[in-house]
């Protein structure tokens, strides 16, 4: 049995990076299902359940901004981390001045979404009380509690959230728009393969197919 929830999320900026852009960051037009799942998991995560995104409501018009961001051009080498673990005193560090890199980014501005989703109990788990999980999620969402601050694609773009217990606010968008192929999620059980689906937005609503559905392509 699955239980559904509705969560409104919004923020000043968002960036859901297209994987085909290798250097400069360019955002999808709207939040991806994988980013929506990450927001739900930041509010309530348990190893015995899996979040499934059913529908995404885009409440505000799609607007883009061009900004420049500081990023690191390097990452910590695995050998340095292993050495620090082994001897307990070797430094684990990157000096920003030596690895700073400015990159342009096309990000979304003034976004607001409603995520419709449900969770499924993983087989073989003793912690299988769906009503308990739903109540715990709703209680945490009402109080604004989270395991870590949810974000809109990048950690520097925090997401505000609130539980929707009544009707979903009406979108400002109308008509139908083909958003092209969009990242659905990563298949962690199959060599980290990226999965995509054709995102069609109708009156601000995107129906998200099942991850294993025939509409989803690798």
Q: Is residue 92 included in any domain, yes or no?
A: no
Total domain count for the chain?
Answer: 1
CB 6 within 8 A of CB 109: no
Residue 122 φ/ψ region, left for φ over 0, alpha for ψ in the -120 to 50 degree band, beta for the rest: beta
> What is the rounded CA–CA span in Å between residue 173 and residue 187?
31
Q: Is residue 56 part of a domain?
A: yes
What pLDDT is stored for residue 97 in this prediction? 77
Instruction: Please check whether residue 190 lies inside any domain of the structure.
Output: yes
Cα radius of gyration (the chain): 19
| 3-state percent breakdown (helix, strand, coil) of the chain, nearest 5 | 20, 40, 40
List, for residues 113-161, the tens digit of each pLDDT value: 999 999 988 876 666 678 889 999 999 999 999 999 999 999 999 999 9
pLDDT at 218: 81
Q: How far is CA 118 from the centre of its chain?
A: 15
Rounded to an integer, what distance in angstroms lies between the CA atom of residue 60 and that of residue 76? 39
90 within some domain: no
Q: pLDDT under 70 in the chain at which residues? A: 1-3, 124-128
pTM of the model: 0.86
57 in any annotated domain: yes
Residue 111 domain boundaries: 3-66+105-207
What CA–CA distance (Å, rounded) separates 165 from 11? 20
Residue 112 within any structural domain of the chain: yes
Instruction: Note the pLDDT of residue 38.
Output: 96
Q: Is residue 218 included in any domain, yes or no? A: no
In the prediction, which pLDDT does 1 show? 43
98 domain residue, yes or no: no
CATH number at residue 56: 3.30.70.2660
What pLDDT is recorded for position 126?
64
């Amino acid at each position: 049995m699955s239980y559904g929830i509705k969560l409104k999320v919004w923020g000043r900026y968002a960036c859901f990076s297209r994987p085909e852009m290798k250097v400069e960051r360019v955002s999808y037009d709207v939040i991806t299902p994988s980013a929506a799942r990450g927001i739900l998991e930041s509010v309530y995560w348990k190893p015995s359940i899996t979040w499934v995104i059913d529908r995404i409501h885009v409440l505000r018009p799609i607007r883009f901004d061009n900004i420049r961001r500081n990023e690191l051009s390097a990452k910590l080498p695995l050998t340095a981390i292993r050495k620090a673990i082994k001897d307990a005193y070797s430094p684990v560090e990157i000096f920003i001045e030596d690895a700073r890199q400015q990159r342009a980014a096309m990000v979304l501005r003034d976004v607001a979404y409603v995520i419709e989703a449900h969770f499924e109990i993983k087989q073989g788990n003793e912690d299988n009380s769906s009503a308990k999980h739903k109540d715990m999620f709703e209680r945490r969402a009402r109080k604004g509690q989270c395991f870590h601050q949810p974000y809109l694609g990048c950690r520097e773009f925090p997401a505000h959230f609130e539980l929707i217990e009544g009707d979903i606010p009406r979108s400002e968008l109308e008509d139908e728009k083909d958003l092209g192929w969009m990242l659905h999620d990563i298949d962690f059980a199959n060599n980290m393969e990226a999965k995509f689906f054709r995102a069609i937005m109708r009156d601000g609503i995107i129906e998200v197919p099942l991850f294993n559905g025939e509409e989803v392509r690798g």
